Amino acid sequence: MAIKIIKESGQKKAIYFKHCNRCGCEFEFSMEDVKSTFDDQREGYVVLYVPCPHCGDTTGVEKKPIRYE
Ligand SMILES: [Zn+2]
């Protein structure tokens, strides 16, 4: 049996961090800002693709929350 939560009660939002290799900008984002995700089965983690707010360059970053807010 698998329980599936439809809506979390008071669940905090995961915040991720990214350093842009192209322009050097560092920024934080949440899943709402993520353009696409890639489940890397071989490496065993999920990659998030989010465009840099400064230069627009979209590169992947490992899905690893730095905090929740
Ligand atoms: Zn950038």
Give tens-digit pLDDT for 12-56: 899 999 999 999 999 999 999 999 999 989 989 999 999 999 999
Q: How far is the CA of 7 from the centre of ligand 1 (A)?
A: 34
Q: How far is the CA of 43 from the centre of ligand 1 (A)?
A: 25
Q: Let me know if residue 2 belongs to a domain.
A: no
Q: Let me know if residue 6 belongs to a domain.
A: no
Strand-pair partners of 48: 37, 61
Say what the pTM is: 0.77
Q: Let me know if residue 4 belongs to a domain.
A: no
Q: How far is the CA of 56 from the centre of ligand 1 (A)?
A: 6
Q: What is the extent of the structural domain holding 32?
A: 14-68
Q: Let me know if residue 8 belongs to a domain.
A: no
- What is the number of domains present in the chain? 1
Give the strand order in the sheet containing 26-29: 26-29, 14-19, 67-68
